[in-house]
């Protein structure tokens, strides 16, 4: 559209000039003694325009001629920049292709050409790490730190990531601490720190970080739950030699973080240190509010082995669970054990036989055999001993 406008404008000017020349009868008188010349004004104007155009063309030609060396230098520099850029792109491509030796070579070439020296050094460092060449890896990391201040954060992030991969978790945490001192920690840095603290066994730090990441929706809910569970399980193992420390830790444990696996590990640890009362409270709190998906037969089995306290109350509590889970063989066996300790022989036999009817097990046969021995019913006891042995042989 713009070109059409200029064409129409030129045609318009040509028409105006032609009409003006047609009606212009003027002339120009030039006197240079002893000569005298009379020239048409139209011709003089045309000649003047021609001279101006010739002079302008000569000036342009001179400018182009004298500027040619500069343009050649600029062209060569641009070509070198383009070639250097292609070398850098090749380094990135080769790194992602897994051709680490060639990637490091291209990155070193790009670094030597001055193309993004910081990033080129980082690419070379990553390639060297993949090739298990720690000296070259450290060499290029040092270059990345000194060649371009803008890549300092990227250098620290890459250093931490590579340290995690090499299981140098203390070095990873040191790099992340330096990063925090300079720019703070974003989500990617928090993820790296989480991995480093998992590897170093800092489970309190893991819990702190996973809660931060959960608040920012930076991890899937399933991952948050699994990492949190692993941390609590590790802390329970750490506290399992001290009953007071273990009890204090479990009491401080948020209700929302008490999953079935944690409750089971905690109950076993409490029983192991002789804290049956705390184990009873924990199991009752979990199983009272458990639906079908959260129900744990293993917790019921531990509950059946607890000693001390009010055994009759425990039997009554377990019977309320039985109304919700009538076909749980483990719960039935636990009730049989508790009734046997209370010398409720009839109820004990009934529960143990019901457990065997639901799911025959070696343990239930042994419990029933011992009960029958106590009742001087040796023949029946021997039958259950044999049944237990047969299940064991399988």
What is the pLDDT confidence band of residue 22, given thresholds at 50, 70 and 90?
low
pLDDT, average across residues 279-301: 88
Q: Decide if pLDDT at 16 tops 80.
A: no
- Alpha-carbon distance 258 to 71, whole Å? 74
Mean pLDDT for all residues in the chain: 87
Residue 94 is predicted with a pLDDT of: 94
* 122 and 140 Cβ atoms separated by less than 8 Å: yes
- Number of Cβ within 10 Å of residue 293's Cβ equals 6
Identify which of 338, 299, 344 has the alpha carbon closest to the alpha carbon of residue 315. 338
Residue 102 is predicted with a pLDDT of: 94
| Segment 63-88, tens digit of pLDDT | 878 877 777 777 676 777 777 778 88
Q: Considering only residues 287 and 388, tell me which one the structure prediction assigns the higher pLDDT.
A: 287
Say which CATH topology domain 310-394 has: 1.25.40
**31 φ, ψ (degrees, to nearest 5):** -120, 115
**Which position has the token pair 């590579």?**
162
Q: Which tokens in the block code for residue 83? A: 């070639």
Residue 32 is predicted with a pLDDT of: 74
Question: Which residues, in sequence order, are CB contacts of 121 under 8 Å at separation 6+?
Answer: 107, 111, 140, 141, 143, 144, 147, 148, 151
């Amino acid at each position: 559209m713009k070109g059409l406008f200029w064409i129409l404008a030129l045609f318009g000017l040509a028409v105006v000039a032609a009409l003006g020349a047609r009606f212009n009868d003027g002339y120009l008188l030039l006197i240079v003694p002893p000569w005298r010349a009379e020239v048409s004004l139209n011709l003089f104007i045309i000649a003047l325009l021609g001279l101006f155009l010739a002079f302008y063309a000569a000036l342009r030609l001179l400018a182009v001629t004298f500027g040619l060396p500069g343009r050649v230098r600029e062209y060569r520099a641009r070509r070198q920049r383009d070639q250097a850029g292609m070398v850098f792109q090749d380094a990135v491509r080769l790194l992602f292709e897994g051709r680490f030796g060639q990637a490091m070579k291209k990155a070193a070439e790009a670094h030597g050409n001055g193309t993004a020296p910081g990033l080129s050094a980082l690419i070379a460092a990553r390639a060297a790490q993949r090739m298990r060449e720690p000296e070259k890896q450290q060499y290029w990391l040092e270059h990345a730190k000194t060649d371009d201040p803008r890549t300092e954060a990227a250098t620290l992030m890459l250093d931490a990531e590579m340290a995690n991969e090499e299981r140098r978790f203390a070095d990873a945490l040191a790099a992340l601490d330096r990063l925090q001192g300079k720019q703070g920690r974003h989500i990617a840095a928090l993820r790296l720190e989480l991995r480093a603290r998992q590897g170093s066994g800092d489970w309190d730090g893991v819990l702190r970080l996973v809660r931060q990441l959960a608040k920012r929706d930076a991890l899937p809910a399933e991952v948050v739950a699994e990492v949190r569970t692993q941390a609590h399980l590790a802390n329970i193992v750490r506290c399992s030699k001290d009953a007071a420390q273990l009890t204090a830790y479990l009491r401080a444990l948020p209700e929302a973080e008490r999953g079935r696996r944690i409750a089971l590990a905690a109950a076993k640890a409490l029983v192991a240190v002789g804290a049956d009362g705390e184990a009873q409270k924990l199991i009752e709190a979990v199983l009272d509010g458990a639906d079908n998906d959260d129900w744990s037969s293993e917790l019921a089995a531990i509950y059946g082995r607890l000693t001390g306290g009010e055994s009759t109350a425990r039997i009554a509590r377990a019977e309320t669970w039985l109304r919700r889970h009538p076909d749980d063989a483990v719960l039935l066996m636990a009730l049989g054990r508790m009734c046997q300790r209370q010398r409720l022989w009839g109820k004990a036999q009934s529960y143990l036989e019901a457990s065997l009817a639901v799911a025959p097990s070696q343990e239930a046969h042994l419990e029933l055999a011992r009960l029958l021995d106590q009742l001087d019913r040796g023949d029946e006891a021997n039958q259950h001993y044999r049944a237990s042995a047969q299940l064991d042989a399988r």
